[in-house]
Structure formats: structure tokens, C-alpha cells
Chains A and B, each alone.
Chain A
Amino acid sequence: EVQLQQSGPEVGRPGSSVKISCKASGYTFTDYVMNWVKQSPGQGLEWIGWIDPEYGSTDYAEKFKKKATLTADTSSSTAYIQLSSLTSEDTATYFCARSGAPFDYWGQGVMVTVSS
């Protein structure tokens, strides 16, 4: 059974960074791209970017290029997103989602709250 297990909720101070994990199981981690999606409170879905775990190659939406860094550890089948220079605009739920083409499996989401 494919599962994407994300880490727990995070609280970050303005200007700091947080790093969220997404541990994959039930499939070969390097066979699929991992995407990250942001959902602000009460809002829709925004694609942040993806990482190809096999090669480490990444692609980001323009607005997230200076905000997010995607990495992957093939030894633990875990993908990561680091969010830097946190502001109130980063308060949101962040999902990882596996894709071949569509996003067929999603993590449970991680709530990131930016608060002083």
C-alpha cells in the first residue's frame, strides 16, 4: 500500500526556517516525482514544485523559487521541503503528493503556523 507520511505541525517565528518531511512507503521511491502543494487557510491549492528523487532535479513555480527548497534522501525514501524567511503569508498546510502524471497519492498535510 502506497503511503506518504508527513511530519508533524510546525510553528516558526517570522524570519526563521522550517523543514517538513514526507516519508514514502509501498513503492520504489525513485520511480516517481514528488510534488509539494500549499493550501492557505480557506484557500485553494498552489503547486510549489517537484523533485525527481532519482536525479535530484527540481522544478519550482516562480513565486516559490526563493521561498522553498526541495530535497530527497533516497536511503530513507523521504522527501523534504524547507521554507525560509518565514512570513505570515507562509502560514498554510503543505502537502506532498506523488505523481506519475496526476497526483495519485497525497500525504496528510502539515500545518505550518508563522507566529512570534
Chain B
Amino acid sequence: EIVLTQSPTTIAASPGEKVTITCRASSSVSYMYWYQQKSGASPKLWIYDTSKLASGVPNRFSGSGSGTSYSLTINTMETEDAATYYCQQWSSTPLTFGSGTKLEIK
């Protein structure tokens, strides 16, 4: 099973600040996927194939990485970005998620 380790667990950022969330895989994966989940709602696909933004995702978001190290970056934090973000790998079953990064507004 591929274990995904996200860091940080929680982060608080001010509007306009740059934010980076990392996801490290216990084995190499081909791509990384990211989901955004707000309290009481279903997760939403946010970034797919490592760096492609899902429909409707603002271009202040970006994704990058390869092998065992991936990241999601917000260029300039906005209040609406406060949420929990999960990474996910699809390279092998069982499909696994990271434990999540809770992003709060400062």
C-alpha cells in the first residue's frame, strides 16, 4: 500500500500570502490528485494529473512534482481557499489519500 504523508497538518495564511502543501508518497507514483473539502460538503476534484486544474479552479492554484514528492501551491491566498486539501494516488490499489491539510485564514 502506498502511504501518502501530507505536511503541514494545519496551516494558517493571511490573504495574499503564498501557501504550499506537500504530499510525499512511500513509493513512486505516476501522478498526484488533489481534492478540496469544505466543512459539511463533499470533496471536490481540484488538481488532476499532478498539475492540471479541474474545471472552475482559480489559476492562483498550481500543482507540481514527480516520483515521491508533490505539492499544491496557492500563489496568493484568498479567504475562499480556506478548506482541507487531500492528495490521492491512483498508481496502485488500494487507492490512498493523504491525511489532509487544513488551511485556515489568518
Contacts and interface: CB of A to CB of B under 8 A. Distances in A.
B33 interface: yes
Given A61-B94, A102-B33, A102-B88, A45 B45 contact: no
B97 A102 contact: no
A18 to B, nearest CB: 19
A22 to B, nearest CB: 12
Contacts of A44: 86, 97-100
B42 A106 contact: yes
A70 to B, nearest CB: 14
Contacts, number: 53
B95 A47 contact: yes
Contact of B90 (A46, A102, A107): A102
Interface size class, chain B: 20 to 34
Interface secondary structure of A, over-half rule? strand
Interface secondary structure of B, over-half rule? loop
Contacts of B99: 44
Contacts of B97: 44-47
Interface residues of A, number: 19
A97 B86 CA distance: 15
A62 interface: yes
B39 to A, nearest CB: 10
A95 B94 contact: no
A108 interface: yes
A107 B43 contact: no
A103 B45 contact: yes
Contact of A102 (B37, B45, B94): B45
Given A44-B86, A44-B100, A45-B86, A106 B44 contact: yes
A109 interface: yes
